[in-house]
Structure 1
Amino acid sequence: MIQYIIRRVAYAIPLLLAVNILTFVLFFVVNSPDDMARMQLGQKHVTEQAINNWKHQHGYDLPLLWNAEQSGLEKLRQTIFYQKSIGLFLFDFGISDSGRNIGHDISERMWPSLALALPSLIVGLLVNITVALMMVLFRNSYLELGTIVLCVILMSISSLFYIIGGQFFIGKILKLVPISGYDSGFSAIKFLILPIIISVISGLGAGARWYRTLFLEEVEKDYVRTARAKGLSEVQVLFRHVLKNAMIPILTGVVVVLPLLFMGSLIMESFFSIPGLGSYTIDAINRQDFAIVRSMVFLGSVLYILGLLMTDISYTWVDPRVRLS
């Protein structure tokens, strides 16, 4: 088990290094510091002096990879790559172009993102699996047909419709919950109810159909026929055997998503004015704050790789044969 985990971690290290290098190339080679300065200053006729001043203030006036004017290790240290990219491996995100501490902002904004994403994931997963099991239990019936039609309809509607419609009907007409905003502590619950409901409903169509496909593949296997021959009811077969043996593909979808919950939902947080990492990223893009965008891109890559690693490890708990691969 330990050797298996070590191998997976060893695979992740070069991948993370490649992501860091690619991020650096996109932000500092394809899009040069001069281009960043012109976009940030937002002027049609920007003087060379203004560009140089902006680069000097934000540390973008150094050479990219090699500083020939320095001596010893300073040739590497006094470069943009060392000062802007190496620190990311230590989760030292530095200072944003607007002068804020990025690491402090992330540590504050991750909690609203988790407060929205975790309940949405858990409730959505339970609802999707329940609906899928119901369709399998009543397969080849009008109930299954009607549920499939409903799922297709839910899939065909844009998530923006659910957001705007939910805000208008539940928030404005019925006035059951606030349309947008956020508060600390338990007071935040009233602001999270509506986006959680919308997240669950918008993902129900695709999720329920996907789990239904997994369960239908399992109910046709020999071990299910054996369980029925032993006298188990269809409900017992589904919950004791089918659900258990479908855990590997379920874990694939769930465990990969877990680390990405920290990143928040870009659309949901923006529409509901939730101060999470999703709205933080959108605001940084609008302000053209390249330091924040670069940090969030790298953090998202790290969390995605961590999710893949967690998926591989979770497989060994569900199916020990994976350890031998």
Structure 2
Amino acid sequence: MLAYIVRRLLYALPILIGVNLITFALFFVVNTPDDMARMQLGVKRVTPEAIAKWKAERGYDRPLFINAEAAGTGVVTETIFFAKSVRMFAGDFGRAEDGRDIAREIRLRMEPSLAIAVPTFILGLLVSVSFALLLTFFRAGSLDFWGVFVCVAMMSISGLFYIIGGQYLVSKLWRLVPISGYAGGFDAWKFLILPVVIGVVSGIGASTRWYRTMFLEEIAKDYVRTARAKGLSEVVVLFRHVLRNALIPILTGVVVVIPLLFMGSLLSESFFGIPGLGSYTIDAINAQDFAVVRAMVFIGSLLYIIGLILTDLSYTLVDPRIRFV
């Protein structure tokens, strides 16, 4: 097991380097350091001296990948790529274009993101699995037919519709909760309850259909017929046998999402004005702040790889036959 984890971590290193390199290259294909300077200075006609000063203050006056004028290791280290990207592997994310420390901003914004993502994830999983089990229990009946119909209708509607509709109905007309904003401490629930409910409702359709498909596939197998032949009730068969054996495909989609909960929700945080990592990323994209975008892409890639490793490890918990060699 330990050897498997070490091997997977070693595989992750070139992946992270490749993602980092591609992100860096794509960003500078779109925007040169001169373009970044003009945008950050905020003036239409900016002097070459001002551009050169801005680049020198932020380290963008160096070559991108290779510094032919440097000696020794400086050929590689005295470059924009090394200064802005390679240091992230040591946890140094640097500073945003406005001068704020990126690592500190991430720590501050992680709490609001988790406050939305964790309840949405847990409640959404419980509701979707329960609804899928209900449809499977009454399969081929009226409840199953209309349940699938509702799920297809819900998954066909854009997530923006749920957000805007929820804000208009619950916040503007009924005035039950604030339409946007965020507050720390106990008062945070007033700002979080609507985004959480909308997040759960918007994901029920697709999740329920997927879980229902998994359960229907399991319920047609031989071990289920054997359990029924032993006199077990349909409820016992469904919860003790079908649900347990369907955990592997469920874990594939669930465990890998857990690390990504730290990244926040781009749409929800932006529309509800919550200062989380999702809105932080959107603001950085709009401002074309390469330092923040680079850091968020790196963290997202790292968390996704960790999620894949956790998914593989979780298989051994639900299926003892799986062993890593």
TM-score band, normalised by shorter chain: over 0.9
Residue matched to 1:307: 307
State the distance in 2 between where 1:268 and 1:220 align.
Answer: 39
State the distance in 2 between where 1:293 and 1:179 align.
Answer: 28
Cα distance 1:124–1:208, how it changes in 2: closer, same or farther (>3 A)?
same
8 A contact 1:113–1:263 mirrored in 2? yes
Residue matched to 2:284: 284
Residue matched to 2:160: 160
State the distance in 2 between where 1:199 and 1:52 align.
Answer: 46
Residue matched to 1:317: 317
In structure 2, what residue type is equivalent to 1:223? Y
8 A contact 2:85–2:294 mirrored in 1? no
Residue matched to 1:73: 73
State the distance in 2 between where 1:51 and 1:120 align.
Answer: 45
Segment drifting more, 226-235 vs 125-134: 226-235
Quote how far apart the aligned CAs of 1:40 are. 2.9
Quote how far apart the aligned CAs of 1:289 are. 1.6
Unaligned runs of 5+ in 2: none
Residue matched to 1:141: 141
Residue matched to 2:121: 121
Quote how far apart the aligned CAs of 1:172 are. 1.8
Quote how far apart the aligned CAs of 1:44 are. 3.8
Task: Report sequence identity in percent.
Answer: 64
Quote how far apart the aligned CAs of 1:302 are. 1.2
Segment drifting more, 114-123 vs 27-36: 27-36
Quote how far apart the aligned CAs of 1:66 are. 2.7
What is the count of residue pairs matched by the alignment? 325
8 A contact 1:259–1:304 mirrored in 2? yes
Secondary structure class of the residue paired with 2:89? helix
TM-score of the superposition, structure 1-length normalised? 0.95
Q: Residues 227-279 of structure 1: CA distance to partner in whole angstroms, max 9, x if unpaired? A: 11111111111110101001111111111111111110110001111110000
Unaligned runs of 5+ in 1: none
Residue matched to 1:6: 6
In structure 1, what residue type is equivalent to 2:225? R
User: After superposition, where does 1:216-235 map in structure 2 within 5 Å?
Assistant: 216-235=216-235
Quote how far apart the aligned CAs of 1:309 are. 1.5
Quote how far apart the aligned CAs of 1:323 are. 2.6
Segment drifting more, 24-33 vs 147-156: 24-33
Q: Residues 28-53 of structure 1: CA distance to partner in whole angstroms, max 9, x if unpaired? A: 35532223223333444333222212
TM-score of the superposition, structure 2-length normalised? 0.95
Quote how far apart the aligned CAs of 1:14 are. 1.5
Residue matched to 1:52: 52
State the distance in 1 between where 2:139 and 2:267 align.
Answer: 36
Residue matched to 2:258: 258
Segment drifting more, 293-302 vs 45-54: 45-54
State the distance in 2 between where 1:324 and 1:314 align.
Answer: 12
Quote how far apart the aligned CAs of 1:182 are. 0.8
State the distance in 2 between where 1:204 and 1:186 align.
Answer: 28
In structure 2, what residue type is equivalent to 1:28? F
8 A contact 1:4–1:323 mirrored in 2? no
State the distance in 2 between where 1:204 and 1:198 align.
Answer: 10
In structure 2, what residue type is equivalent to 1:295? A
State the distance in 2 between where 1:19 and 1:290 align.
Answer: 14
In structure 1, what residue type is equivalent to 2:134? M
In structure 1, what residue type is equivalent to 2:267? I
Quote how far apart the aligned CAs of 1:27 are. 2.5
